[in-house]
């Protein structure tokens, strides 16, 4: 699975003019299930995201995790993270099929929530508007490899 994580002071997802998810301080996690991914990759990615020490400590160093700071997660499905960009038009054949992608997206949300993090989200497959204030800015790419 792949994720693009942004530390935020606030964020929201809007669908057709309606706010469907919003958080204050925390992480915006754009997530994509790749072909061949399983619940194991979803769980590992969720643990990594929640434990990633990218929030400042008292000395201003990135040394605290989402859980340490009591932050929330806004999780948004983002199949375009699977883009292959060899030419001018991206291809998405590496992304999981929609049904499998949605199942793993829901599993990922559940894994983050199971770690005690408040979760808000967009809607899988919807045309969404995501607004956020990137704090830092801090943006980090995470990717899991399937277990052999």
pLDDT digits (tens, 9 = 90+) for 73-116: 999 999 999 999 998 999 999 999 999 999 999 999 999 999 99
Q: Strands, DSSP E only, in 85-148?
A: 119-121, 129-143
Number of domains in the chain: 1
Q: CA 79 to CA 81: how far, in whole Å? A: 5
CATH number for 42: 3.50.80.10
Q: Identify whether 148 is part of a domain.
A: no
Give catalytic status of residue 78 as yes or no.
yes
Strands 26-32 and 72-77, by their bridges, are parallel
Give catalytic status of residue 105 as yes or no.
no
Peptide bond preceding 137: is omega within 30 degrees of 0, i.e. cis?
yes
**pTM confidence score:** 0.94
Domain range enclosing 133: 2-143
Are 124 and 77 spatial neighbours (Cβ–Cβ below 8 Å)?
Answer: yes
Q: Identify whether 60 is part of a domain.
A: yes
Length of the chain: 148
pLDDT digits (tens, 9 = 90+) for 11-45: 999 999 999 999 999 999 999 999 999 999 999 99
Angstrom distances, CA of residue 97 to CA of 7, 32, 35, 89, 93:
29, 11, 7, 20, 9
Give catalytic status of residue 80 as yes or no.
yes
Residue of 6, 8, 55, 78 marked catalytic: 78
Residue of 79, 105, 108, 144 marked catalytic: 79
């Amino acid at each position: 699975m792949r994720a693009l994580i942004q530390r935020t002071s606030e964020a929201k997802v809007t669908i057709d003019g309606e706010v469907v998810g919003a958080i204050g301080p925390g992480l915006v996690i754009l997530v994509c299930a790749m072909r061949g991914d399983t619940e194991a990759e979803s769980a590992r990615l969720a643990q990594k995201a929640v434990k990633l020490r990218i929030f400042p400590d008292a000395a201003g160093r990135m040394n605290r995790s989402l859980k340490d700071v009591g932050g929330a997660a806004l999780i948004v499905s983002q199949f375009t993270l699977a883009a292959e960009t060899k030419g001018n038009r991206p291809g998405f054949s590496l992304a999981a099929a929609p049904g499998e992608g949605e199942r793993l997206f829901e599993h990922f949300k559940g894994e983050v929530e199971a770690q005690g993090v408040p979760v808000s989200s967009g809607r899988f497959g919807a045309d969404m508007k995501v607004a956020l204030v990137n704090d830092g800015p801090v943006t980090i790419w995470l990717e899991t490899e399937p277990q052999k």
